[in-house]
Structure 1
Amino acid sequence: MGGAGSEAVLDIRGLRYAVGGRTLLDGVGLRVAGGESVAVIGPSGSGKSTLLGCALGLVRPSGGSVRVAGADITTMRARALERHRSRHLGVVFQSGELLPELTPVENVALAALLAGRRPGPAYEEAGRLLAELGVPASEIATAHLSGGERQRTALARALVNEPSVLLADEPTGALDAAARDTVCDLLFGLPRRRGCALVVVTHDAEVAGRADRTFELSRAHLVPRPARSRA
């Protein structure tokens, strides 16, 4: 369930997916409210990225529903899905998936431009977000940034269209300990500051411990884990 008294902006019910005779998701359900963070842990190959792909509409499940901001994306046609995704979903991948030849502001503004925003407001918002996330203003290509700066740029890109749901796939997996902690501080602070729902999939128990709730994807089922002490 989502936070008490809050409506789920991500509502996954009865999700099923199998490939190559192997069931990765078997009746999986997950509800996340705006302002709440959830972590999903599990070993490589357990289906964590598949679950995220279903939530993004990039993987079509064989059963169940995925409602994002009130609409079931599993029934949408491609163009409607693209519009809904750009309006309501942001995503951060382990490697950032940025265009290395572009500057940070160009990478972030591009996501806004593709969503239909005008160039002036797109670049203005991109610069504001990068400054907020501590990425230095420069004309340097993104390829020359540090790992932590690239992930903060990826965060800015994911946030530029003010998504209802932010998804992160191993967002700290390629970072050293110091950069990991900085990115985690930013990432897990976003739900309360921006009101979005956050779902992070990770193999790192320390990262997962930052979330409001943690689940383990085990044998194709999503199992709640006990809350960790925050003392």
Structure 2
Amino acid sequence: MGGESVVLAAAGVGYDVAGRTLLDGLDLTVRQGESVAVSGPSGSGKSTLLTCLLGLIKPQRGSIQVAGVELTELRERALARHRRTHLGVVFQFGELLPELTPLENTAIAALLGGVRQRDAYAQAEELLTELKVPFGKTPTAQLSGGERQRTAVARALINKPALVLADEPTGALDETTRDEVAALLFSVPQRWKCGLVVVTHDATVAARADRHLALAGGELIEARGAGVRS
């Protein structure tokens, strides 16, 4: 991974809430083409970490750079623009608009990023085709769980982000669909030349990552039994 550019550099990140330290001098570097899984018990700070990496909350200490830009120094409008351009997110339940088609759900992310309507829909159709998602007139609410998550991955990728963050992306899926979505998700860094951070409780999913880290005591450490996958 030495030759690939750094897409995420978090250093000394600290965050306290209600007298409790959730993140304590946390460091995390992710390179283009690399996947990292983060696990840990409920309440360990995983959601707080993701929220900091997205720039939705500002850590009280430390530095977070995404695509070479320091998030903690950006004003709200510039931060939102940087987020749209350089970050993609996949949530546990997709967070898609159920009444829209997969094509519309995917294209809307490009439209919000300033892409012309014709181009946004063309890019969305191409991406959904590659990810094997039906994009006819069927509302997203009527798709299977796996199809909805594939749509969520397409939406996360359409603006060609430097970094994709996924929060329990397979947590609501059955075992077979989980494996299919996980295989797709962990193919993303190499296929789309980005970095990937996946928060998951599922050891089977985490094992697919290039690195599996555990959040403990506010810091990231190598998960027991984890190593670089072959």
TM-score between both structures, scaled by the size of structure 2: 0.97
Q: Percent identity?
A: 61
SS at match of 2:171: coil
The residue identity in structure 2 corresponding to 1:125 is Q
Distance 1:5 1:223, change over 3 A: same
Q: 1:50 aligns with which of 40, 48, 51?
A: 48
Distance 1:156 1:229, change over 3 A: closer
Structure 1: stretches of 5+ with no match in the other structure: none
- The 1:51–1:134 alpha-carbon spacing in structure 2 relative to 1, beyond 3 Å, is same
Q: Distance in 2 between matches of 1:42 and 1:5?
A: 30
| Aligned CA-pair RMSD | 1.2
Q: Which residue of 1 aligns with 2:226?
A: 227
Hey, what does 2:136 align to over in structure 1?
138
Aligned residues: 229
Q: Matched residue of 1:29: which SS? A: strand
SS, match of residue 157 in structure 1: helix
Find the aligned partners of 1:156 and 1:126 in 2 and give their Cα distance.
7
Which whole-Å CA distance do the structure 2 matches of 1:154 and 1:190 have between them?
13
2:38 partner SS = strand
Measured in 2, the distance between the counterparts of 1:70 and 1:7 equals 10
Gaps of 5+ in 2: none
Q: Which runs of 4+ in 1 moved over 3 A?
A: 226-231
Q: What is the CA-CA distance between 1:5 and the residue it aligns to?
A: 3.1
Task: Determine the structure 1 residue equivalent to 2:10.
Answer: 12
Give the whole-Å Cα distance in 1 for the aligned partners of 2:42 and 2:127. Answer: 32
- Separation in structure 1 between the aligned mates of residue 228 and residue 52 of structure 2, nearest angstrom: 31
TM-score relative to the length of structure 1: 0.96
How many angstroms apart in 2 are the aligned matches of 1:7 and 1:29? 17
CA distance in 2, matches of 1:5, 1:157: 28
Could you say what secondary structure the match of 1:45 adopts?
Answer: coil
